[in-house]
Structure 1
Amino acid sequence: MKNIFFICVFSLIAFTGCTDDDELYKNSGKDSAEEETSFPNEEIDQHLFKVINLDYPGLEQVKAWYETGNYYSASKALLEYYRGRIGIINPYVSLNSITTQQARYAELALAENGYRFYINANYLEEKDLGNGKEKVPYSLKSGKEINWEFIPKGADKEYRKQLHRHNWIPFQAMAYQKTQDEIYMLGWKDVYSDWVSKFPKTETVVDEFAWWQLQVSTRLMGQAQAFEYFKFSSNFTPQWLSFFLVHFAEHADFLLKNRYPDENNILFSQIISMVFAGTLFPEFKDAPQWQAEGCRIINEQLEKQFLPDGMLSDLSLHYHIGILDELYNLKRLIQENHLPENLLTSKFDQILEKATEIVIHFTYPNYFEAGSNEYCTSAFNDSWMKTKNVLEKNFKKYAEMFPNNQELAWMATRGGQGHAPSAGIKVFENSGHYILRNGWDKTSTMLIHSNNYSNEKMDIWSHNQPDNGTFELYHNGRNFFPDSGVSSYEGSGTPNNIRSWFRQTKSHNTMILSDKETEDNDEPNAKRYGDEDIKNTLGKLIRKGETNQYQFVATENQGYANFTHRRSIFFVTPKEKPFFVIVDEGIGNATGFSKLYFHLCDDKTAESVSLDIENHGAHTTFSDNNNLFIRSFGNADITQNEVKGYISYDTKGLFLPRKAYSLVMDKKENSPVRYITVIYPVANETPEISARFTDDETFIEDAIKLEVTVNGQRYELGYTK
C-alpha cells in the first residue's frame, strides 16, 4: 500500500468505523480547546516551547495555551495537531510492513523477555525460550535494570556501538501498529527514558558509543519512524510528547553541530538523517537549518564520495548498497513531500544511476537461479556477500528510481522485462574493479578482479583491505575462489587479531613479498597479523583488450618500495570450453621470496578440494561434475606449500577452515619472478596442461607473450603496452 494513503486517511480523522489498516490513524484525543487542569505543568518538559516554532501554521491553539501558562494543555494541543497532521510523509513508514522475524525481535525486546535488544543478525545466541531452540538477541537484563554496558562473550566493541542505534525500536513500533498492544508503547517509554537518563547528550563527540554520529543519526531515523506508528496510542501522552520532541531536537542539533570529520558513508548517513528530521518535523525552530545544511553537504559530497566510475569511495559493496538505499529514500522523501527539486544537485540522478551499475556488474549469475537464495556477490573490502533476496529488493528500488533503464528492469524482474547487460569486459577503473564474463545465466562464467586505487592510510579500521590483485571466480553456479571475508570489526585484543588476519594481503588470492620462505600457520585469533602486507594500494590499469581468441585485462600495484605486482588475466574463449590464464609478475630490485596465494571454495566443500603439491596446483572433485583443474608454471623453481585458509560470512569473530596454498619463488635482485596459472573447467577428467613464456624477459616492462597448451591445443596469448 502506497504511503500516500496517509494523506487520505488523515483527512478523515474523525470517523467511527475503522478497518484494521486504519487503526494506525485513530484519534483518541479530546477537543484541544477544552482546558485541562488536573495535570501539573511540572510533568511537561517546558524546553519543548523553546525548540518548537509556535508561529508555525496549525499551532495557533498550542501558542494560545502556552501564553496562558497552561503547558499541559499546550502540549496536549500539540499532540492532537500531530495526530491530525496531513501532508508529511515518511517513506520508511508503511502499513502492514512488519515481518515475522521483526515481530519476534519486537517481542523479545520487552522487559518480560529480558530486554533482548536486536542489534543485528551477527549478535544472536541460540536459546530455548519456551518455543524450542531459536536464535535470539542477548539479554541486557540485570535484576530489574538494563545493563547498557553488557557485551557478549567474544564480541568486539561494535556490539556496544550498534547497541546505541536502538535498531529494535522501529520493530516494536510496527508491532504496535499491527497488534494495537500497548505493551510495545510502554516498552518504548521504559527503555528510551532509561537510556536518556543514563546517556545525556554531550556537546561534542567524546567516544564512539552513545553520542557518535552514526549512532545518533540511526536513532534519529528510528525515532521518526516510531513516532508515526505510536502517536495514536493512549499511552502517548502530552508528557511523553514533550519528552520525545525535546530529545529528538537534541539529536538533530547534535548532528548539526558535530559534522563527522571523514568523507565516507558515516557522513552520508549523518546528513541524510538531518534532511529527514527537518522535513518530517518542520515545526521545530531549527528544522529549516537541519534540512538546508543536510542538503548542502549532500550536494557537496555526492561527487566526492562517488567515484567517476560509480563506486562509493569506501570501496565496499556492502556500504555502497547501504548508502544507495538511504539516497533512494531521500529521493522519495523529497518527491512525496513535494519539496523543491533544486534542494538537491541536478547531478543527483546521474550519480545514483551510475552507482546502480556497480551493483549490476558485481552480481553473479546464480542470482537468476529459480528457487535459490544463495550468496550472489563478492566479499571484497569489508563486504558481506548478499543473497538473491537482498539484491532483488534493491534492484526493484533502482528500477523504480530509473524506470527507463532497461538493464535495471531486467535485474529487478530477473530477466522478465528489459534486456540483459553486456557480457564483455567491464572496467571500473577509478575504484579498480574489472569483470570478465561470458553471460548472465546460471551456467555462465565470471571473474571479478580487484586492484583498488586508494591513498587512504591502511589502518585496521579501514574498509579498504590491502588485497590488491585479488579475484573471485564463479563458474556454472559455484564460486570457486570466494574472498576470505571480514570476521570481525575493529576492537582490541582477540577481535583485532582476527580482523588483522582477514585483512592481511596473503589471506587473499594475490601476491606478497616476504623475507622468509616458510609459512606462518597460526590461527586468526593467535596474534596481530599484517607485517608482510603490501604498503600501498595504488592500483592502476595497464591494458585491456579483446581478440578472436580471448579477452584480457592487465593491472599493477607497487605494493612495496622496489616490488611491483603486475597481474594479467586472460579469458580464453574457445567455443567448447572457456578457461582462464592468469600471469603474475613481481618486478623490481627487491629481494626475498615472492608468494602467490590461492584460497579455494568454502568450509562446506573443503573435502572437495585436493591440493596437488608436486604439480603446483589443485583440483576439485565435486560430484556434480562442475570442477576446476589448476596448474601453475614459473620462470624459476616453484615450491608449493599448503597454508591454513579460513572463510567468514559475518562479523561475529567466527571463521571456518578451507583449503589454501602458496607458490613460493626466490626473488633475485636483478630478475623478475613470473608465474603462469591455468584455471580450466573439467567434469572429472585430468587434462594435459603446459605453459611457458615466449617473450624476452629483458623487455617485459613493455610487452608480455606466452604459450599455453591444453590437451594438445596451443594458445598464444599476450599484449604490448
Structure 2
Amino acid sequence: MKNIFFICVFSLIAFTGCTDDDELYKNSGKDSAEEETSFPNEEIDQRLFKVINLDYPGLEQVKAWYETGNYYSASKALLEYYRGRIGIINPYVSLNSITTQQARYAELALAENGYRFYINANYLEEKDLGNGKEKVPYSLKSGKEINWEFIPKGADDEYRKQLHRHNWIPFQAMAYQKTQDEIYMLGWKDVYSDWVSKFPKTETVVDEFAWWQLQVSTRLMGQAQAFEYFKFSSNFTPQWLSFFLVHFAEHADFLLKNRYPDENNILFSQIISMVFAGTLFPEFKDAPQWQAEGCRIINEQLEKQFLPDGMLSDLSLHYHIGILDELYNLKRLIQENHLPENLLTSKFDQILEKATEIVIHFTYPNYFEAGSNEYCTSAFNDSWMKTKNVLEKNFKKYAEMFPNNQELAWMATRGGQGHAPSAGIKVFENSGHYILRNGWDKTSTMLIHSNNYSNEKMDIWSHNQPDNGTFELYHNGRNFFPDSGVSSYGGSGTPNNIRSWFRQTKSHNTMILSDKETEDNDEPNAKRYGDEDIKNTLGKLIRKGETNQYQFVATENQGYANFTHRRSIFFVTPKEKPFFVIVDEGIGNATGFSKLYFHLCDDKTAESVSLDIENHGAHTTFSDNNNLFIRSFGNADITQNEVKGYISYDTKGLFLPRKAYSLVMDKKENSPVRYITVIYPVANETPEISARFTDDETFIEDAIKLEVTVNGQRYELGYTK
C-alpha cells in the first residue's frame, strides 16, 4: 500500500484544474520565526510517534530527528513533508470553491461573532448583526467560553447531534484558502482544541452525541479537508500538527473499533470515511487497516443496502441521494489516487448506476423549467423535497460517473443532450415504488405511488414511515397531493409528538382501520400519535398492465391482522384529457371504520382548495385554470369529515395548515369496503362524474371491474389476477 502512494504523480493542483498552480502552496511556512531550539519537546504531543509509521517513504528526516530525541524538529520535518507532499488527492478539496453563504458562515463561527456555528439550514435565527436582518446560526458564546450544551428553544435532539459534526470548519478552511486571513486558522485552533478538551474520546459508543459513529465520520471527513487548506498557514505549527494528527488517528481508530450495528446509511458514512482516512493519510501505522476494512464492509454492504431495484434500503430519497454522493466521491478517491480497482467489488458501478435510475424517475417534470427554489421530488419517508439546483448538481455527477448513459446525460443537461427516459409504467418492486406518467415536460402528468416492503420495526426513529398505499400527484407544474413531510427528527416530549403526527398513517394519502367514526383534530404538538397506524409495511405488487385506454398498477398491504388495503390506480389516457381513477378496497374479517385520507396542496394554496362534503370530494380553484376535480363513490354509505392537515418542509418542528379530509365507511365482518375516486383535471368547469363497480364482490380477490362516466363518456376499467 505504501508504494502505491509513493509512486503517485498527480498533485492536488492537477486535480483541481486551476491555472494558478501555485495558489495552494503560496505560503511555504519558511517565514516563520520558529526554530527547533526555541521549543521544548513537551510542546509536542509525543503520541504522534506511536501512530505515525516512521518507515513510510519520505519520512526519513522525521525518523532521524525522532531517534535523536528531538521531537519538535521531527514534528517540524513532518509538517514540511506534508506541505510538499504530492500524489495524494482529496476529491472534496478544490480551489475557489467557497460560496458567498459558506463564507458568511465561516465568518460567523469566529469568537468575535459569538461562536455562531453552522449546523444546517434548519437551525438558524433571524438577527441583525449590523448588516440588516439575516438568518444566522445560533450563538454558543457564554462569557468568554463556548457553551457546547446550548440548545435553541424548540430544537430537537438533532441539533445536539449535528453540532458535534463541526460542519462549519470546512467553510473556515475554504475561507482561509481564499483570503489567507489567519483569523480562520486561529479560529479553528481555538474551537477544535476546546472541543477536544471537553469531549475526550470514549472507548465505546455511550450516547448519540460527541462520539457516535455519524458524528465521528463527519468530523473525520471535515478535518481531512481542513488540513489541506490550512497546512500552509504560519499558524499551522509543529505543535498543532502533532495535536491534529493524534486526534485524527483517534477518530479513525474509534470507527475501526466501533462498527455501527445497523445496516443503513450511517454505516455507509462510517466506512466511507475510514477509506478516506486510510487513503489520504497513508503515513499512519493503521492506515492500511482503515482502508482495507472500510473497503471490505463497503463491498459487503452494497448489495445488502441497495435493493435489487436500486433503492437504498432506508427507503428515503434524501438519504439515497446523500449516500450516492458519498459513493461518487469514493469512486473519485480510488481513481484519482490510482488505487487498485479490485479494492471495490466489480459490481460497484452496476449498483450505483441502477441507484441513479431511482433519482431520475422520482423527479417531477417541473425540473426542466423550475426556478432554483422550486421543489421537484416527492417527500416520502423522511425525505426533504429537492430543488432543481440540488438535482441538477447531482445529475451532473451521475453523468460524469456513467458517460454512456444517455438518460443521465439528458437529466444532467435538462434536455440538452442524450434522450428522455421512458414515459411508461415504472416499477421499483423491491422497495415498493410505482410511477405513472405521460411525459417529461412541465405540462405532463405524473403520479408516484409508495407501498413499501420493509420488515423493520415501526419505531419512531425509523426513516420508513407507516404510509403504505400513499401517493403524490403532479399535474401541469403543480403537486396537488404532496406528502405531509417530516417536521421533526424527534427526541423527547414535543419534538417526538410532532414527529409522530407526521409519521402516522392517516397523515398520508392512504387508508386506516379505526374503532371510531369521528376525527381527532388536535395539533401535531399536542400528544403522541400513531395508535391507529398500520402495524405492517409488507407491501406487494398484485398486477400492472397497459391497454389502449389506460395504464394500471395494483398493490396491497396487510396493515392489520385481519385487514388488507388494496389500491388499484388507473391512469386513463384519452387524447383530450388524461385522468386518474383510484380504487381502494379494505378486505378481511376485521370490523370498525375504514378511513380513506386525502391531503391536498400546501399551506400557500390552502385557500384554493374547496372541500365538497355533501358530494364526497373536493376541487381546486387556482386562477391559472390548472385545477383538479375529485369525486369518490363507494359500495356502501360514505361519510366525509374535514380533517386538519399540515405540511412541513424541514425538521425545525414547524408545520403549516392545509386542507385534508377523510372518507369513512362502516367495515362489517366478512364484507369488504370499496371506494372509487376519480381525479379529473379541469380549468374551472364542473364535470359530471359517476362511477360504480360492475364485478361480483364475492370474487374481488381474483378480479376487479368498474365503470366510470365523465361528461357522458363511459370508461370500463379493470383487470384479472
| TM-score interval (norm. to shorter) | over 0.9
The Cα of 1:24 is off from its aligned counterpart by: 1.8
The Cα of 1:26 is off from its aligned counterpart by: 2.4
Contact 1:173 1:229 (C-alpha < 8 Å) held by counterparts? yes
The Cα of 1:281 is off from its aligned counterpart by: 0.1
CA, structure 1 residues 10+271, in 2 after alignment: closer, same or farther (shift >3 Å)?
closer
Contact 1:75 1:238 (C-alpha < 8 Å) held by counterparts? yes
Counterparts of 1:568 and 1:618, CA distance in 2: 20
Deviations 1:199-255 (A, max 9, x none): 000000000000000000000000000000000000000000000000000000000
CA, structure 1 residues 32+16, in 2 after alignment: closer, same or farther (shift >3 Å)?
farther
Query: What secondary structure, in the 3-state scheme, does the structure 1 residue paired with 2:8 have?
Result: helix
CA, structure 1 residues 588+548, in 2 after alignment: closer, same or farther (shift >3 Å)?
same
Counterparts of 1:336 and 1:125, CA distance in 2: 40
Higher mean alpha-carbon deviation, 621-630 vs 10-19, is at 10-19
The Cα of 1:14 is off from its aligned counterpart by: 17
Deviations 1:465-494 (A, max 9, x none): 000000000000000000000000021000
Counterparts of 1:259 and 1:546, CA distance in 2: 47
CA, structure 1 residues 13+441, in 2 after alignment: closer, same or farther (shift >3 Å)?
closer
The answer to whether structure 1 residue 140 and structure 2 residue 140 are counterparts is yes
CA, structure 1 residues 12+163, in 2 after alignment: closer, same or farther (shift >3 Å)?
closer
The answer to whether structure 1 residue 3 and structure 2 residue 3 are counterparts is yes
The Cα of 1:94 is off from its aligned counterpart by: 0.2
Counterparts of 1:389 and 1:417, CA distance in 2: 18
Deviations 1:552-601 (A, max 9, x none): 00000000000000000000000000000000000000000000000000
Contact 1:13 1:27 (C-alpha < 8 Å) held by counterparts? no
Query: What secondary structure, in the 3-state scheme, does the structure 2 residue paired with 1:201 have?
Result: coil
CA, structure 1 residues 83+462, in 2 after alignment: closer, same or farther (shift >3 Å)?
same
Contact 1:315 1:463 (C-alpha < 8 Å) held by counterparts? yes
Counterparts of 1:454 and 1:255, CA distance in 2: 28
Counterparts of 2:577 and 2:7, CA distance in 1: 59
The Cα of 1:32 is off from its aligned counterpart by: 13
Counterparts of 2:350 and 2:623, CA distance in 1: 47
Counterparts of 1:374 and 1:75, CA distance in 2: 51
Contact 2:4 2:339 (C-alpha < 8 Å) held by counterparts? no
Counterparts of 2:57 and 2:34, CA distance in 1: 20
Query: What secondary structure, in the 3-state scheme, does the structure 2 residue paired with 1:630 have?
Result: strand
CA, structure 1 residues 5+642, in 2 after alignment: closer, same or farther (shift >3 Å)?
farther
Counterparts of 2:36 and 2:129, CA distance in 1: 45
CA, structure 1 residues 16+437, in 2 after alignment: closer, same or farther (shift >3 Å)?
closer
Query: What secondary structure, in the 3-state scheme, does the structure 2 residue paired with 1:633 have?
Result: strand
Higher mean alpha-carbon deviation, 117-126 vs 32-41, is at 32-41
Counterparts of 1:15 and 1:310, CA distance in 2: 30
Deviations 1:514-545 (A, max 9, x none): 00000000000000000000000000000000
Query: What secondary structure, in the 3-state scheme, does the structure 1 residue paired with 2:487 have?
Result: coil
The Cα of 1:29 is off from its aligned counterpart by: 3.6
Structure 2 unaligned runs (5+)? none
The Cα of 1:22 is off from its aligned counterpart by: 2.9
Deviations 1:394-435 (A, max 9, x none): 000000000000000000000000000000000000000000
The Cα of 1:36 is off from its aligned counterpart by: 1.6
Contact 2:18 2:95 (C-alpha < 8 Å) held by counterparts? no
Contact 1:3 1:93 (C-alpha < 8 Å) held by counterparts? no
Other-structure match for 2:14? 14
Deviations 1:668-703 (A, max 9, x none): 001000000000000000000000000000000000
Higher mean alpha-carbon deviation, 9-18 vs 334-343, is at 9-18
Deviations 1:299-345 (A, max 9, x none): 00000000000000000000000000000000000000000000000
The Cα of 1:38 is off from its aligned counterpart by: 1.2
Query: What secondary structure, in the 3-state scheme, does the structure 2 residue paired with 1:473 have?
Result: strand
Mapping 1:132-531, distance limit 5 Å:
132-369=132-369, 371=371, 373-531=373-531
Contact 2:8 2:88 (C-alpha < 8 Å) held by counterparts? no
Contact 1:21 1:96 (C-alpha < 8 Å) held by counterparts? no
The Cα of 1:62 is off from its aligned counterpart by: 0.2
Query: What secondary structure, in the 3-state scheme, does the structure 2 residue paired with 1:461 have?
Result: coil
Counterparts of 2:490 and 2:540, CA distance in 1: 29
Higher mean alpha-carbon deviation, 185-194 vs 2-11, is at 2-11
Other-structure match for 2:52? 52
Counterparts of 2:294 and 2:626, CA distance in 1: 51
Other-structure match for 2:638? 638
Query: What secondary structure, in the 3-state scheme, does the structure 2 residue paired with 1:9 have?
Result: coil
Query: What secondary structure, in the 3-state scheme, does the structure 1 residue paired with 2:29 have?
Result: coil
The Cα of 1:19 is off from its aligned counterpart by: 8.7
Aligned residues: 721
Query: What secondary structure, in the 3-state scheme, does the structure 2 residue paired with 1:3 have?
Result: helix
Counterparts of 1:2 and 1:603, CA distance in 2: 58
Deviations 1:77-109 (A, max 9, x none): 000000000000000000000000000000000
Contact 1:473 1:479 (C-alpha < 8 Å) held by counterparts? yes
Deviations 1:39-93 (A, max 9, x none): 1000000000000000000000000000000000000000000000000000000
CA, structure 1 residues 428+52, in 2 after alignment: closer, same or farther (shift >3 Å)?
same
Counterparts of 1:503 and 1:372, CA distance in 2: 28
Counterparts of 2:196 and 2:28, CA distance in 1: 28
Counterparts of 2:534 and 2:646, CA distance in 1: 20
Contact 1:32 1:76 (C-alpha < 8 Å) held by counterparts? no
Query: What secondary structure, in the 3-state scheme, does the structure 1 residue paired with 2:14 have?
Result: coil
Contact 2:5 2:88 (C-alpha < 8 Å) held by counterparts? no
Query: What secondary structure, in the 3-state scheme, does the structure 1 residue paired with 2:23 have?
Result: helix
CA, structure 1 residues 262+370, in 2 after alignment: closer, same or farther (shift >3 Å)?
closer
Query: What secondary structure, in the 3-state scheme, does the structure 1 residue paired with 2:649 have?
Result: coil
Contact 1:53 1:285 (C-alpha < 8 Å) held by counterparts? yes
Q: Percent identity?
A: 100
The answer to whether structure 1 residue 556 and structure 2 residue 559 are counterparts is no
| Cα RMSD for the two superposed structures | 2.9
Contact 1:10 1:85 (C-alpha < 8 Å) held by counterparts? no
Other-structure match for 2:657? 657
Query: What secondary structure, in the 3-state scheme, does the structure 2 residue paired with 1:541 have?
Result: strand
Query: What secondary structure, in the 3-state scheme, does the structure 1 residue paired with 2:666 have?
Result: strand
Contact 2:59 2:81 (C-alpha < 8 Å) held by counterparts? yes
Deviations 1:364-405 (A, max 9, x none): 000001545410000000000000000000000000000000
CA, structure 1 residues 239+37, in 2 after alignment: closer, same or farther (shift >3 Å)?
same
Contact 1:395 1:408 (C-alpha < 8 Å) held by counterparts? yes
CA, structure 1 residues 3+672, in 2 after alignment: closer, same or farther (shift >3 Å)?
farther
Deviations 1:102-141 (A, max 9, x none): 0000000000000000000000000000000000000000
CA, structure 1 residues 199+580, in 2 after alignment: closer, same or farther (shift >3 Å)?
same
Counterparts of 1:111 and 1:21, CA distance in 2: 33
Higher mean alpha-carbon deviation, 562-571 vs 8-17, is at 8-17
CA, structure 1 residues 255+562, in 2 after alignment: closer, same or farther (shift >3 Å)?
same
The Cα of 1:12 is off from its aligned counterpart by: 12
Counterparts of 1:429 and 1:18, CA distance in 2: 45
Contact 2:629 2:680 (C-alpha < 8 Å) held by counterparts? yes
Counterparts of 1:119 and 1:347, CA distance in 2: 35
Query: What secondary structure, in the 3-state scheme, does the structure 2 residue paired with 1:15 have?
Result: helix
Counterparts of 2:450 and 2:57, CA distance in 1: 55
Deviations 1:601-656 (A, max 9, x none): 00000000000000000000000000000000000000000000000000000000
Other-structure match for 2:694? 694
Contact 2:11 2:87 (C-alpha < 8 Å) held by counterparts? no
Counterparts of 2:445 and 2:116, CA distance in 1: 44
CA, structure 1 residues 114+5, in 2 after alignment: closer, same or farther (shift >3 Å)?
farther
CA, structure 1 residues 217+423, in 2 after alignment: closer, same or farther (shift >3 Å)?
same
CA, structure 1 residues 333+571, in 2 after alignment: closer, same or farther (shift >3 Å)?
same
CA, structure 1 residues 82+613, in 2 after alignment: closer, same or farther (shift >3 Å)?
same
The Cα of 1:25 is off from its aligned counterpart by: 1.1
Counterparts of 1:33 and 1:615, CA distance in 2: 84
